[in-house]
Protein backbone atom coordinates (compact mmCIF):
# COMPACT_ATOMS: atom_id res chain seq x y z
CA UNK A 1 0.00 0.00 0.00
CA UNK A 2 1.51 3.34 -0.99
CA UNK A 3 1.85 6.33 1.31
CA UNK A 4 -0.98 8.21 -0.44
CA UNK A 5 -3.45 5.40 0.26
CA UNK A 6 -2.17 4.97 3.82
CA UNK A 7 -2.60 8.68 4.47
CA UNK A 8 -6.21 9.06 3.31
CA UNK A 9 -7.18 5.79 4.99
CA UNK A 10 -5.51 6.94 8.21
CA UNK A 11 -7.36 10.28 8.31
CA UNK A 12 -10.71 8.87 7.18
CA UNK A 13 -10.63 6.07 9.74
CA UNK A 14 -9.29 8.34 12.47
CA UNK A 15 -12.20 10.74 11.90
CA UNK A 16 -14.74 7.92 11.74
CA UNK A 17 -13.45 6.29 14.90
CA UNK A 18 -13.39 9.64 16.73
CA UNK A 19 -16.94 10.43 15.66
CA UNK A 20 -18.20 6.97 16.64
CA UNK A 21 -16.37 7.15 19.97
CA UNK A 22 -17.98 10.47 20.88
CA UNK A 23 -21.43 9.04 20.13
CA UNK A 24 -20.72 5.90 22.13
CA UNK A 25 -19.38 7.85 25.12
CA UNK A 26 -22.47 10.06 25.13
CA UNK A 27 -24.67 6.96 25.01
CA UNK A 28 -22.77 5.33 27.89
CA UNK A 29 -23.03 8.53 29.95
CA UNK A 30 -26.76 8.61 29.14
CA UNK A 31 -26.51 12.05 27.54
CA UNK A 32 -29.06 12.79 24.82
CA UNK A 33 -26.79 13.26 21.86
CA UNK A 34 -29.31 13.59 19.04
CA UNK A 35 -29.37 17.36 19.22
CA UNK A 36 -25.68 18.15 19.04
CA UNK A 37 -23.74 15.02 18.03
CA UNK A 38 -24.00 16.10 14.39
CA UNK A 39 -22.14 19.32 15.18
CA UNK A 40 -19.36 17.38 16.90
CA UNK A 41 -19.14 15.04 13.89
CA UNK A 42 -18.91 18.00 11.53
CA UNK A 43 -16.09 19.45 13.64
CA UNK A 44 -14.26 16.13 13.54
CA UNK A 45 -14.72 15.92 9.77
CA UNK A 46 -13.37 19.45 9.31
CA UNK A 47 -10.37 18.65 11.51
CA UNK A 48 -9.41 15.45 9.69
CA UNK A 49 -9.87 17.05 6.28
CA UNK A 50 -7.61 19.96 7.15
CA UNK A 51 -4.99 17.80 8.88
CA UNK A 52 -5.04 15.21 6.10
CA UNK A 53 -4.81 17.86 3.38
CA UNK A 54 -1.88 19.50 5.14
CA UNK A 55 -0.08 16.18 5.37
CA UNK A 56 -0.79 15.46 1.70
CA UNK A 57 0.42 18.87 0.55
CA UNK A 58 3.43 19.27 2.81
CA UNK A 59 4.72 15.69 3.11
CA UNK A 60 3.50 13.73 0.11
CA UNK A 61 3.68 16.20 -2.79
CA UNK A 62 6.57 18.42 -1.81
CA UNK A 63 4.82 21.38 -0.20
CA UNK A 64 2.76 22.45 -3.21
CA UNK A 65 -0.68 21.30 -4.35
CA UNK A 66 -3.34 22.86 -6.53
CA UNK A 67 -7.06 22.96 -5.83
CA UNK A 68 -7.83 19.87 -7.91
CA UNK A 69 -5.17 17.75 -6.19
CA UNK A 70 -6.32 18.77 -2.73
CA UNK A 71 -9.99 18.27 -3.55
CA UNK A 72 -9.35 14.77 -4.91
CA UNK A 73 -7.36 13.79 -1.85
CA UNK A 74 -9.88 15.30 0.58
CA UNK A 75 -12.74 13.45 -1.11
CA UNK A 76 -10.90 10.15 -0.56
CA UNK A 77 -10.79 10.97 3.14
CA UNK A 78 -14.51 11.84 3.01
CA UNK A 79 -15.35 8.55 1.32
CA UNK A 80 -13.57 6.51 4.01
CA UNK A 81 -15.11 8.66 6.77
CA UNK A 82 -18.62 8.41 5.25
CA UNK A 83 -18.43 4.63 4.81
CA UNK A 84 -17.18 4.12 8.36
CA UNK A 85 -19.69 6.43 10.04
CA UNK A 86 -22.62 5.14 7.97
CA UNK A 87 -21.80 1.54 8.84
CA UNK A 88 -21.28 2.53 12.47
CA UNK A 89 -24.69 4.24 12.52
CA UNK A 90 -26.37 1.00 11.49
CA UNK A 91 -24.46 -1.01 14.11
CA UNK A 92 -25.30 1.62 16.72
CA UNK A 93 -29.03 1.67 15.87
CA UNK A 94 -29.40 -2.09 15.54
CA UNK A 95 -27.28 -3.36 18.44
CA UNK A 96 -26.37 -0.61 20.91
CA UNK A 97 -29.14 1.97 21.21
CA UNK A 98 -32.02 -0.16 19.98
CA UNK A 99 -34.59 2.38 21.20
CA UNK A 100 -33.13 5.26 19.15
CA UNK A 101 -35.40 4.77 16.14
CA UNK A 102 -38.47 4.64 18.38
CA UNK A 103 -37.48 7.88 20.10
CA UNK A 104 -36.82 9.58 16.77
CA UNK A 105 -40.18 8.45 15.39
CA UNK A 106 -41.99 9.68 18.50
CA UNK A 107 -40.22 13.04 18.28
CA UNK A 108 -41.13 13.30 14.59
CA UNK A 109 -44.78 12.55 15.31
CA UNK A 110 -44.91 15.17 18.09
CA UNK A 111 -43.35 17.75 15.77
CA UNK A 112 -45.91 16.96 13.07
CA UNK A 113 -48.76 17.33 15.56
CA UNK A 114 -47.34 20.67 16.74
CA UNK A 115 -47.35 21.86 13.12
CA UNK A 116 -51.09 21.32 13.05
CA UNK A 117 -51.18 18.56 10.44
CA UNK A 118 -54.25 16.33 10.17
CA UNK A 119 -54.17 12.75 11.44
CA UNK A 120 -54.14 11.49 7.85
CA UNK A 121 -51.17 13.69 6.93
CA UNK A 122 -49.31 12.58 10.05
CA UNK A 123 -49.99 8.90 9.27
CA UNK A 124 -48.73 9.29 5.69
CA UNK A 125 -45.59 11.11 6.80
CA UNK A 126 -44.90 8.57 9.53
CA UNK A 127 -45.22 5.67 7.03
CA UNK A 128 -42.52 7.24 4.89
CA UNK A 129 -40.37 8.06 7.91
CA UNK A 130 -40.54 4.46 9.19
CA UNK A 131 -39.36 3.19 5.79
CA UNK A 132 -36.49 5.68 5.82
CA UNK A 133 -35.34 4.45 9.24
CA UNK A 134 -34.72 0.89 8.04
CA UNK A 135 -31.02 -0.04 7.89
CA UNK A 136 -30.35 -0.22 4.11
CA UNK A 137 -32.11 3.05 3.31
CA UNK A 138 -30.68 4.78 6.36
CA UNK A 139 -27.18 3.66 5.36
CA UNK A 140 -27.57 5.12 1.86
CA UNK A 141 -29.03 8.40 3.11
CA UNK A 142 -26.31 8.72 5.74
CA UNK A 143 -23.61 7.96 3.17
CA UNK A 144 -25.02 10.51 0.71
CA UNK A 145 -25.48 13.24 3.33
CA UNK A 146 -21.99 12.76 4.76
CA UNK A 147 -20.44 12.73 1.29
CA UNK A 148 -22.32 15.90 0.32
CA UNK A 149 -21.27 17.69 3.50
CA UNK A 150 -17.73 16.42 3.01
CA UNK A 151 -17.71 17.76 -0.53
CA UNK A 152 -18.68 21.23 0.66
CA UNK A 153 -16.03 21.21 3.38
CA UNK A 154 -13.45 19.80 0.95
CA UNK A 155 -14.18 22.53 -1.59
CA UNK A 156 -13.60 25.19 1.03
CA UNK A 157 -10.52 23.61 2.59
CA UNK A 158 -8.97 22.97 -0.83
CA UNK A 159 -9.44 26.61 -1.78
CA UNK A 160 -7.79 27.72 1.44
CA UNK A 161 -4.94 25.19 1.55
CA UNK A 162 -3.89 25.24 -2.10
CA UNK A 163 -0.35 26.38 -2.64
CA UNK A 164 0.96 26.95 -6.15
CA UNK A 165 4.51 26.05 -7.03
CA UNK A 166 6.57 29.21 -7.64
CA UNK A 167 7.49 29.92 -11.26
CA UNK A 168 11.22 29.74 -10.59
CA UNK A 169 10.88 26.15 -9.31
CA UNK A 170 8.87 25.14 -12.35
CA UNK A 171 11.50 26.66 -14.65
CA UNK A 172 14.34 24.93 -12.76
CA UNK A 173 12.57 21.58 -13.02
CA UNK A 174 12.04 22.00 -16.76
CA UNK A 175 15.65 23.05 -17.31
CA UNK A 176 16.97 20.05 -15.40
CA UNK A 177 15.03 17.60 -17.60
- In order along its 177 residues, the chain shows pLDDT tens digits of 899 999 999 999 999 999 999 988 888 888 776 667 778 889 999 999 999 999 999 999 989 999 999 999 999 999 999 999 999 999 998 898 888 888 888 988 998 899 988 889 888 999 998 888 888 888 999 999 999 999 999 999 999 999 988 888 878 878 887
Contacting residues for 84 by C-beta, under 8 A, at least 6 apart: 12, 13, 15, 16, 17, 20
Q: CA 104, 106, 107: angle at the middle one, nearest 5? A: 65
Q: What is the pLDDT of residue 21?
A: 93
Q: What is the pLDDT of residue 34?
A: 62
Question: What is the distance between the alpha carbons of residues 66 and 74, in angstroms, rounded to a whole number?
Answer: 12
pTM above 0.85, yes or no: yes
Q: What is the pLDDT of residue 35?
A: 64
Q: Is 113 exposed, middle or buried (0-12, 13-18, 19+ CB in 10 A)?
A: exposed
Amino acid sequence: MNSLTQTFLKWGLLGGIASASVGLILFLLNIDSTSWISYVSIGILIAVLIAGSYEYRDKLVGGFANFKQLLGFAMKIVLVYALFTSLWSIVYMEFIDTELVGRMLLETEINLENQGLSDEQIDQTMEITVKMMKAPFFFLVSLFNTALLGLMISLLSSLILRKAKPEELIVKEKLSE
